[in-house]
Amino acid sequence: MSAMAPLVILGFGYTGRWICRLAHTQSRRVLASSRRPECQLTDIPPPDRLRFDLTDQTSWPTLPWDGDLIWTFPATPLDRVQAFARHHCHAGRKLVVLGSTSAYDQKDHPSAELPPWIDETSPINGDLPRVQGEEYLRTHHGAIILRVAGIYGPHRNPVEWIRRGRVGPTNKFVNLIHVEDLAQLCLQALQYGQPGASYNISDGQPRRWSEICREVSSRWGVISPRQANAEETGKRILNHRALTQLRYTLRYPDLYQALRSIEGPSATPPAQDQHPSG
């Protein structure tokens, strides 16, 4: 990781705030970007706020030339991604892009009771717009792509997803990653990631929603109002490359221990509760 270069977080949402928090513990200056920094970055000191909108080329020069980038939002539309990268993703700048394990979704693939394990050599769906943007950044500008499973953590709680009926006891596999592990892996990728490489980011323990619902019901008495029904089988994501090459040991490898801590009081940054995609 560059000793003096600031870290620029493009898109300062739930994950971005955790990255900022951890980067500050390493005494690194962090610049946060938003399309409306005066409204969305009120908790950030004014000198560390940047207005950045990928669709507005006049906002691009606000980024410091020497700053490393962590790109947290979908890399679309492709023409804007390409134009921005040609001018701002130079060889001296490290770039980490947060993608999604949905890149591995394939059309018309046969359903299986137990889906195969997916690693970074598995085929991706190049028809997806965000995958096109990620692959352009990876192949033309040496971006490090993190294919991220469903993100959970304080204020983004799977127990609440179940309570509200956003998910139910289906046989679909889900892959998850605690936001603190994700944030630290973003910083590890800046330091140890290979330019042009991709890494699967998950806790390596795919679980069926039916199993999670049973455990949540047993431990916290929370039952989903959604009924079990036939559904896609989901994916099983391998995370070995990320943990070994990025030199990281997960802080939250056990979902249920993590959920126990989330269910208690927390002073971590709030964010809108969302449904996982992994």
Asked if residue 193 has pLDDT above 90, the reply is: yes
Q: Give the model confidence (pLDDT) of 45-79 as tens digits.
A: 999 999 999 999 999 999 999 899 999 999 999 99
Q: What is the pTM of this model?
A: 0.92
- Write down the pLDDT at residue 228: 77
Asked if residue 2 has pLDDT above 80, the reply is: no
- Domains along the chain? 7-155+177-205+236-256 (3.40.50.720)
pLDDT confidence tier of residue 232, bands split at 50, 70 and 90: confident
Written as six digits, the tokens of 195 are 């330019």
pLDDT confidence tier of residue 107, bands split at 50, 70 and 90: low
Residues whose CB is less than 8 angstroms from the CB of residue 93 and which lie 6 or more positions away in sequence, other chains included: 65, 66, 67, 68, 69
Q: What is the mean pLDDT of the chain?
A: 91
Please state the length of the chain.
278
Asked if residue 271 has pLDDT above 50, the reply is: no
Asked if residue 269 has pLDDT above 70, the reply is: no
- Write down the pLDDT at residue 4: 62
The answer to whether 130 and 99 have CB atoms below 8 angstroms apart is yes
Q: Is the peptide bond before 45 cis (omega within 30 degrees of 0)?
A: no
Q: Which of 148, 177, 151, 178 is nearest to 75 (CA)?
A: 148
- Give the percent of the chain with pLDDT over 70: 90
Mean pLDDT for the stretch of residues 106-132? 85
Asked if residue 239 has pLDDT above 70, the reply is: yes
Mean pLDDT for the stretch of residues 11-31? 96
- Write down the pLDDT at residue 106: 67
pLDDT confidence tier of residue 5, bands split at 50, 70 and 90: confident
Q: Give the model confidence (pLDDT) of 164-175 as tens digits.
A: 999 999 999 999
- Give the percent of the chain with pLDDT over 90: 84
